[in-house]
Amino acid sequence: MLLPMTKVHIIGTKDTLEPTLRTLHRLGVLQIEDVTEPGRGLGLPKITLDAVTLTQREQIGRLVTRLESLLALLPAPALPLHLDQSYAEASSKPTAALVSEAKGLLDDLAPIMQDLAVQRDELEAERASLPRYAATIRQVMPLAAELPELEDYETVALLN
């Protein structure tokens, strides 16, 4: 059953904004909308970011791009069993620590993922060529039964 929504304004200091929004998002009790969008007519001043926060935001943007490109190489994973607990633990860490941890993990995983992607592409190319080999083997099998067993010789078949 759908319930009518009540609008809520969250007012606080800049240093508590990010943890508060993370907690509300994790709890899923509110639909959070950006009130600074143009045309909303709320007249709220735009929040300016300090240099540290702006740098972190840019780092996070680059990390998200790297992560999305690595995830595109994989099939969709099943969600972990204790996702809420993991989210709560991560939410309690400072942003700088999360950025550093994510960068380290991506630095470790990127070369492995790229190697796996190359191997996958090679295997898919090999799988695509297997039907051609099957037809060739079917042509050669009757001939192979008639050939004598020769030691230290290699047999080559030329097919048209």
Distances (CA, A) of 39 to 17, 62, 114: 23, 29, 44
Query: Cβ(98)–Cβ(90) under 8 Å?
Result: yes
The tokens describing 71, both together, are 């995830």
Predicted TM-score (pTM) of this structure: 0.47
How many residues does the structure list for the chain? Answer: 160
Task: Give the pLDDT of the chain (160 residues) as one tens digit per residue.
Answer: 566 777 777 777 777 877 888 888 778 777 777 665 565 555 556 667 788 888 888 898 888 888 888 888 777 777 777 877 888 888 888 888 888 998 998 899 889 988 988 999 999 998 888 888 887 788 777 777 777 776 777 777 666 6
CA distance 128 to 60: 39
Nearest Cα residue to 84 out of 34, 35, 26: 26
CA distance 98 to 90: 7
Query: Cβ(126)–Cβ(86) under 8 Å?
Result: no
Centroid of chain to Cα 115: 16
